[in-house]
Amino acid sequence: MEDRLPVIKKPNPKSRSSKKLLVFLFIFFITLLLILFFQSSLSKITEIEIQGQQLVSKEEIAQAAAVKAGDHFFSVSSSKVESQVKALKMVESAEVSKKFPGRLIIQVHEYPKVAYQVGENGQIEALLADASVVPVTVQGVALDKPILTGWSKDDPLKIKLCLAMSKLPAAYFSDVSEIKPSPTLSYPDKIKMYTRSHYEVETAIEYLPEKMKYLDSLISSLQSSKKTGGVITMLEADTHAPFDKDSGKTNAKDAKGSADGKDNKDNKDGKTPASKETDKHDTASSSADEKKRESQETARD
């Protein structure tokens, strides 16, 4: 019975040399593909997209990022680019993302600006919350914030103003086109604001948080009452006075008081210019009468 059973042949073991050859070929082709990939345009940056910037030019950001088209896509460190872009004075933060193939996106978040000013060389400059100045390098930027005029370079009140404006909603200043200092003895931090709706607003920096929230509604109320233009005083009390049609100045109480004070300073004797002219006329008339009487007496003698 044992003679009838077929003999099963044992399989020949695969040679180790053939396995090594397969592994070698696999590694070779993978290496070849990687070399071809890194030499192709698929492994390089082909597009750099910069988003979110308004005041800093794209050229400035690209220069700070130190990345250009043609650099290896996988060798660019996103965190390094973010730190380099963030080093720009106007940039608060930056986010860098990479999208295969070859696309690099830099999302920029700038510090909030509160106002603009014109520099000594005539260049538009943005003012931040701490009153630090950043030149606007973008051409044709929309001036969507008030322009500060008449302020000295290191005026502490300008710093106080910028800080106060940064803490208020930007919508409160949407109608304000210009802000300049107008200090008085009573209000050293008094300012004048000129609105696009043709009103002149007089207030103080310390009153901004309290008063600015009502400015739009006050102007709307005046316009609905057909009181277009004029001076709005927002100090202890809120008042409105029309512009003087003749001089272009206002009939506001403080303006009148300033004029009266100037007249009193010029006329220390308490007399007005009109009364002085009357006194001069009376003196001249008296002198003429005396001369006439003297001539008559001489003729009689």
- Extract the tokens encoding 278: 């009357």
Q: Does 279 have pLDDT greater than 50?
A: no
Q: What is the pLDDT of residues 142-181, one digit of tens each?
A: 889 999 999 998 899 999 999 999 999 999 999 999 999 9
Report residue 275's pLDDT band, with 50, 70 and 90 as the boundaries.
Answer: very low
Rounded Cα distance between 297 and 254, Å, is 58
Domain boundary assignment for the chain: 43-110, 113-251, 253-294
Overall fold of domain 43-110:
Ubiquitin-like (UB roll) (3.10.20)
- Position 88: which residue type? L
Rounded Cα distance between 151 and 128, Å, is 15
Residue percentage of the chain with pLDDT more than 70: 75
Pick the CATH number of 113-251 from 3.40.50.10960, 3.40.50.450, 1.10.760.10, 3.40.50.970: 3.40.50.10960
**Predicted pLDDT at 247:** 46
Q: What is the pLDDT of residues 227-260, one digit of tens each?
A: 989 999 999 999 999 987 654 444 444 433 433 4
- Position 141: which residue type? V
**Predicted pLDDT at 159:** 93
Residues constituting the chain? 301
